[in-house]
Amino acid sequence: MSSSETPNYKLLAKAFADEGVDMAFHLMGDGNMYWATSLTHDFGVRAIHGRHENCVVAMADAYARATGKVGIASVTCGPGFTPTLTSLTAAVRGNVPLIVFAGDTPITDLHHLQEFDIGPVVEMVGAKYIPLRHVDRMLNDVREAFYTARFERRPVVMSVPIDLQAAAAAWGADYLPSADLMPRSQRIQPDPDIVREAAAILAAAERPIIIAGHGALRSGATSELASLADHAGALVATTLRAKGAFYDNPFNLDVAGSFASPYAHELFAEADVVMSAGAGLGNYTTEAGYLFPNAKVIQIDTRPRGLWQGNRTADLHIAADAKAGAQAIKAELAKATPKRAGYRLPDISERLASDVHDDKPFQLEPATLDPRVAVGEIDRVIPKDWDIVMGCAHYFTIAGPMMKGRPADRYHFLTEFGAIGQALPAAVGIAAARGNGKVCLIEGEGSLLMQIQELETLARHGIKLLIISINDGAYGAEIHKLIPRGITPAEATFGRPNLAAVSQAFGLRGAVVTENGKLQQLFEEHDWQPTASLWDIHTSKTVPSISYRRVHFGEV
């Protein structure tokens, strides 16, 4: 290497830094160790080193969701890449801007032990594959990766051979970041004729409901939708990914679908018009069309689909940005129709204010808590400005609908792929991004045990996180699917390991909770000190959520 040449891994690291990267999540190996080291030591990018490849991708995914930036993960060759596929698939389905720097075996070594053609696998899960194969193109490839992640909101996997990284090049040109090439954001405006039709439908409605989806959040349409709902006399609700959009609205039904309370279900069933904005209106939101069977449905979306997940989505589709669509419909409606009460009756707001999601009595196991009571206490104790992270398991169908009073950007649900074990690493990524110690993970013990090694990551990096395990000593989802079919749940029952002791063994705080009323003191103890904590709350597996009772037990 001549004095005028620079190792390619440093040039690549500089390009990432020039793209504005300030944090990256790694599991180091031969294929990424030089680049990862340079990224931190030469360019000041903070490094978080996880303990499993799937986890570092989940961390980067969650970092991207929490910050709006491109998440960066790196892994090594072959068996260093294959474990990432669950998190990569979830990121694809969540439309997350993410780049995975995947070290690859040397181009010149066709028989390397870790050789594995990752391209077909990457494309199979829906991510973009960019193989770096020549020094003359490698910085263009980096720019393309960031552009794709940002513009398409899509994960990108860069395959970077070890020998290409180790080679040196003389490079004098300045790097042009992808942000300089991004088109300016533009709102898709609705067709005026369709707007008039939508306004006429709302004007004739007696019991309208407006549902905001994640697209409405990205559009910044919450206040416009609230204003439209107020004028039309509509109740408001959200999809799961937009939970909290109307958290302070007295006519908020919260999450539409199986997470809705029995009273909210009644109101959905009686709706005569439902308008959605920035929502796909899939089966979970509409309960496959059964949630509001008598309503005429209007959908505002940048890419509306008449058929989605096997069902008709709407009677009227408006191809538009959610904010632009809501503004146009409100303006048209206001021309001829004065503000009216519609579905916004005083008795409805009063009942919603005191609505109890589920209070059916169940016999509890000894020395355990009713999970609904435990979640209610968690909701009261955790401040409303904290981030709440949840995974995907039976407990989530209790905690998801019961956590209240927080804006949408405080909720993080890891549900796109239906994979358990994703929430702990995601919470690590969010806690690292926030850096304020105000992040709470609510997770089932089965999911937690899948990635328990990441407690060491928290301890080593000094990341403060509150972990709450809803511990029923079993795979609760399987328990409550087997029992209604008359099948023994014995094979899904595992007992309760001492998770608090495990947390303490990693150098963190830990506490076992078997009584109600203990969480306020535990929170105060956690809040004043700098270390992550784990609360192991023993809950009874005899309490199926109302969502599970509807779907699996046939409860009406």
Distances (CA, A) of 444 to 7, 55, 284: 46, 17, 21
Point out the domain boundary residue: 181, 200, 221: 181
pLDDT of residue 282: 94
Mean pLDDT for all residues in the chain? 96
Residues 513 and 533 in one domain: yes
Q: Does residue 142 form part of some domain?
A: yes
Point out the domain boundary residue: 353, 379, 406: 353
Q: Does residue 364 form part of some domain?
A: no
Q: Which residue has the tokens 């089966």?
A: 283
pLDDT tens-digit series, residues 29-63: 999 999 999 999 999 999 999 999 999 999 999 99
Q: What percent of the chain has pLDDT over 70?
A: 99
Q: Does residue 56 form part of some domain?
A: yes
* Three-state DSSP state, 63: helix
Of the pLDDT bands very low, low, confident and very high (cuts 50, 70, 90), residue 172 is low
Residues 177 and 199 in one domain: no
Residues 375 and 303 in one domain: no
Residues 103 and 228 in one domain: no
Distances (CA, A) of 402 to 356, 377, 492, 499, 541: 9, 10, 25, 24, 18
pLDDT of residue 215: 97
Residues 500 and 467 in one domain: yes
Residue 100 has pLDDT above 70, yes or no: yes
pLDDT of residue 5: 84
Residue 390 has pLDDT above 50, yes or no: yes
Residue 549 has pLDDT above 60, yes or no: yes
The mean pLDDT value for 436-462 works out to 98
Residues 443 and 466 in one domain: yes
pLDDT of residue 174: 86
Residue 4 has pLDDT above 70, yes or no: no
Q: Does residue 366 form part of some domain?
A: no
Residues 171 and 22 in one domain: yes
Of the pLDDT bands very low, low, confident and very high (cuts 50, 70, 90), residue 336 is confident
**Nearest one of 464, 412, 479, 480 to 442, comparing CA atoms:** 412
**Of the given ranges (308-312, 383-387, 429-433, 543-547), which has the lowest mean pLDDT?**
308-312
Q: Does residue 338 form part of some domain?
A: yes
DSSP 508: S
Residues 331 and 380 in one domain: no
User: Which residue range forms the structural domain that includes residue 10?
Assistant: 6-181
Find out whether 60 and 25 touch, Cβ atoms under 8 Å. yes
pLDDT of residue 3: 46
pLDDT of residue 170: 75
pLDDT tens-digit series, residues 392-410: 999 999 999 999 999 999 9
pLDDT tens-digit series, residues 74-92: 999 999 999 999 999 999 9
**Nearest one of 314, 443, 317, 455 to 389, comparing CA atoms:** 443
The mean pLDDT value for 432-461 works out to 98
Residues 212 and 326 in one domain: yes
Residues 348 and 381 in one domain: no
Q: Does residue 478 form part of some domain?
A: yes
pLDDT of residue 110: 85
Buried b (16+ CB within 10 A) or exposed e, 218-251: bbebbebbbebbbbbbbbbbbbbbbbbbbbebeb
The mean pLDDT value for 304-325 works out to 96
Residues 203 and 129 in one domain: no
Of the pLDDT bands very low, low, confident and very high (cuts 50, 70, 90), residue 169 is confident
Point out the domain boundary residue: 181, 201, 236: 181
pLDDT of residue 359: 95
Q: What percent of the chain has pLDDT over 90?
A: 96
The number of domains in the chain is 3
Residue 1 has pLDDT above 70, yes or no: no
Q: What is the pTM of this model?
A: 0.96
Q: Does residue 198 form part of some domain?
A: yes
Task: Return the CATH number at 424.
Answer: 3.40.50.970
Residues 36 and 118 in one domain: yes
Q: Does residue 1 form part of some domain?
A: no
Task: Return the CATH number at 297.
Answer: 3.40.50.1220
Tokens coding 336: 């001829």
